[in-house]
Structure 1
């Protein structure tokens, strides 16, 4: 298995740094290949700009169209192209980050913004000319898993916790980004109270991560409803007979 590990934490001596090191070591020890995109170490540019897509400044910068054109012409910047090549090679993707203000760090959001652009990650059509997404896309056949540290204790991220259910906080990443692109999304590895873990608790977290990583090929993915599986109508709205009377993000789970 070829694994792309995307890490977004500025301190290699942090818990995140330790977990990334231990997780990658466990994968390699079992014969898997690991490529890493350590975004802070790479000094990754998170800002969408004209230089990334070889856009002519005299013209209005329409981001999606410029990115699509650059991808088709092979003129996107070298850093974007390199990340796309890593994604293409990968059989599985690990996205690791600390949850800051209920989401991912800006540098990671900027990685998605710049790399997962139109023509490469979305705006794609299937063999019959239909638009594809949510269960089909450029990551079809690949697996993806988030590894997330959180500052608060676990109960704050429960169904009734004041922070909100963690599955809903991660819905934009897991459903709207990874599943939209066609990946089989595995349940996340969550490490709550990360700022207060003892060394022993940190090793327990690393042990869980190692086990989850080595089980990636056989782990059951999150059962999201596919776009073209019959649950949605032509407007991509759930049919009235599917989860009748229910609303909210949970209705998109089969």
Structure 2
């Protein structure tokens, strides 16, 4: 595998830092290539601005079109181009982060905002004029795995837990971002109660993580419904006969 590992934690001596080091060590020991973007260590600039897309500040900044034009004309800022090149080289993406306020840290959200722009990550049509997305796209053929640490105990994130079901909390990343881009999204590695970990707990979590990482090439992906597979109508709404009477995020699972 050619793995691109994106991590977002400010402290390398944290549990996240430990898991990052152990996971990457396990992959390399088995002969896999690992390329890394440690966003905090890089000092990643997370804010979308005109400078990133070489846009003239005297003109109105329309983000999507400016980004597409910069990409097509070779005018993207060097930091954005470098991240896209890492994505292009990889066949597997690992996105690792602590869950803060029910989502990813701002620095990681800003990475997606700047790097996954129109003209590179979305905005394409197929041969029949249909929009490309949800099961097809620029990540088609690649796999993606989220590795997420959470402070609360696991039952807080269950179907009836007060924090909400973790699969739904991760839906914007796993379905709306990774699957939308065409990736085969693997079931996430979830590490709950992280702020109460003992050294032994950390070792156990590292063992679980390494096992999951080394099995990525054969792990069955989450069975999301594809956009153009027949389950959705021309307005991209589920057909009446698909999961009849049901609503909510779970209906998008086959």
| TM-score of the superposed pair, with normalisation by structure 2 | 0.99
Superposed displacement of residue 127, structure 1: 3.3
Give the whole-Å Cα distance in 2 for the aligned partners of 1:127 and 1:67.
24
Q: What is the root-mean-square deviation in Å for CA atoms of aligned residues?
A: 0.5
1:11-22 mapped onto 2 (5 Å cutoff): 11-22=11-22
- Residue of structure 1 in register with 2:235 after alignment: 235
1:1-254 mapped onto 2 (5 Å cutoff): 1-254=1-254
Give the whole-Å Cα distance in 2 for the aligned partners of 1:130 and 1:245.
27
Give SS of 1:97's match: strand
Deviations 1:40-84 (CA, angstroms, capped at 9, x unpaired): 000000000000000011110000000010011010100000000
Give the whole-Å Cα distance in 1 for the aligned partners of 2:204 and 2:128.
49
Give SS of 1:242's match: coil
Deviations 1:74-129 (CA, angstroms, capped at 9, x unpaired): 10100000000000111000000000000000000000000000000010122333
Give the whole-Å Cα distance in 2 for the aligned partners of 1:210 and 1:222.
20
Give the whole-Å Cα distance in 2 for the aligned partners of 1:122 and 1:75.
18
- In the alignment, structure 2 segments of 5+ residues that lack a partner are none
Equivalent residue pairs, number: 254
Give SS of 1:152's match: coil
Give the whole-Å Cα distance in 2 for the aligned partners of 1:202 and 1:124.
43
| TM-score of the superposed pair, with normalisation by structure 1 | 0.99
- In the alignment, structure 1 segments of 5+ residues that lack a partner are none
Deviations 1:138-158 (CA, angstroms, capped at 9, x unpaired): 000000000000000000000
Q: Relative to structure 2, which stretch is displaced further, 216-225 or 117-126?
A: 117-126
Give the whole-Å Cα distance in 2 for the aligned partners of 1:127 and 1:35.
34
Give the whole-Å Cα distance in 2 for the aligned partners of 1:30 and 1:222.
25
Give the whole-Å Cα distance in 1 for the aligned partners of 2:59 and 2:166.
42
Give the whole-Å Cα distance in 2 for the aligned partners of 1:128 and 1:179.
21
Give SS of 2:42's match: coil
Superposed displacement of residue 227, structure 1: 0.1
Give the whole-Å Cα distance in 2 for the aligned partners of 1:228 and 1:149.
33
